[in-house]
Chains A and B, each alone.
Chain A
Amino acid sequence: MSSRTHRPGPTLSIVRNAQDAAQADHPPETSGTRADGTLDWSILMAHAQAGDRDAYRRLLEAITPYLRALAARRIGNRSDVEDTVQDILLTIHTVRQTYDPALPFGPWLVTIANRRVADGLRRQGRLGAHEAPLPFDPEYETFQAAETNLQEEAADASMLRDAVEHLPAGQRDAIRMLKLEEMSLKEAAAASGMSVAALKVATHRALKNLRRLIEKRGGRS
């Protein structure tokens, strides 16, 4: 982790009059803007350490795009970049007393930023180790595989079973034996003591009744 390997993109100002800035607690004329128009971050930080909120806000707003660029160079995901930028800002806030205005601001900032970027990458790596992005696979899509519709089918089945319960006894037995238990006509006739013809008639009537019952119910709901 060397701060020297990352040459900052935007110009980082080296302090010319850092000692003055460090000593002056309430400098009204030093606005933190240099002759060439760039904000001198070192001076702003010196003011911020003295409790100047205005300078602090200008400093944070000035370094945020720079930090964002720095983080984006190594972190791909946009929302992770923003997280890391906020993390860097928080760290800067906690350790702002460690900045010595006699030293350049750039290395101080870049060291902290690199540390947080590395943390961000580590966090990403940890998540990546046990969280895979969902691949586009029909198996994961709702309503594609038959299994995903079991809930709806269960509702249908209970409605049908309910309708069967409302049939007259003869028709109900015929449906139960021939359709639900899948007996043959002969087996059903032996089991119930009804004739094959009577069973056929009962089944026919039962289906007609069921259709009527279910339609009525479907229309009602």
Chain B
Amino acid sequence: MKSTSELIDSLVADAKPVRRLRSPVMRALCWLLFAALLLTLVALVHGVRPDLMVKLHQPVFVVGVIAALTTAVLASIASFMASVPGRSRGWLLLPAPAVVAWMSTIGYGCLTNWISIGPHGMSPGETARCFATLAITGIPLSLVMLIMLRYVARLSPNSVVMTGSLAVAAMTAVALSLFHPLDATVMILMWNFGVAAILMVLSGLYGRRLFGWVTPQG
């Protein structure tokens, strides 16, 4: 075991100039810009859902997408803010109102459509394509977020990573609702809520390990 003064010596010897992090809001904007770029690319390659124009006139759909988008924006700002030591942990609560709005529009839409359509609304054929969209938006977004937040690994990873995953899940949900005709079914609830829940649970469980993978020196 080194003595503390020896440790200070070796740290001082290793003190290379470092580039300060940009402000958290700036970094959140960078991430959101990347997300926007990714969604545009997917839209170009895959094309938007055929009935998008019709859907854009339905208030429930529009409110739902806007709520998911707001959740993504607020959650990314919250995770970048809370990841900096010394900032208030209260930032983690920033996306809460948007999450409530998002989840309640899904629930409401699901309920009304269930009443009018019934249990035939399941469309398993769409599931595989949904999964593809989910992967090509969710994985890059998660990776970029993970790399941008790698310094938080030795601080307080779990809550920050969970908020980050909420941002990823919300962004993925926006992508799903723009690209796939999924409404009027239980599927939308499953996809939106399920993706959010799975991502958050996984990140809560494995956040530490993921960071260990991104930052070799831990």
Q: Hey, which bits of chain A sit against chain B, CB under 8 A?
A: 1-3, 22, 48-53, 56-57, 60-61, 64, 82-83, 85-86, 89-91, 93-101, 103-104, 106-112, 115
Contacts and interface: CB of A to CB of B under 8 A. Distances in A.
B17 to A, nearest CB: 3
Contacts of A1: 89, 156
Interface in B61-114: 83-87, 89
Chief secondary structure at chain A's binding surface: helix
B86 A108 contact: yes
Contacts of B7: 86, 89-90
A61 B20 contact: no
A205 B78 CA distance: 97
B21 A98 contact: yes
7 contacts: A53-B15, A85-B4, A86-B7, A94-B217, A97-B21, A100-B20, A107-B85
B12 interface: yes
B14 A93 contact: yes
Interface residues of B, number: 28
Contact of A61 (B2, B8, B86, B151): B8
B115 interface: no
A115 B82 CA distance: 14
B12 A115 contact: no
Contact of A94 (B21, B23, B151): B151
B155 A111 contact: yes
Contacts of B17: 49-51
Contacts of B18: 49, 51, 96-97
A111 B16 contact: no
Given A94-B151, A95-B155, A97-B151, A56 B15 contact: yes
Interface string B17-50: 1111101000000000000000000000000000
Contact of B151 (A49, A95, A100, A104): A95
A91 B154 CA distance: 7
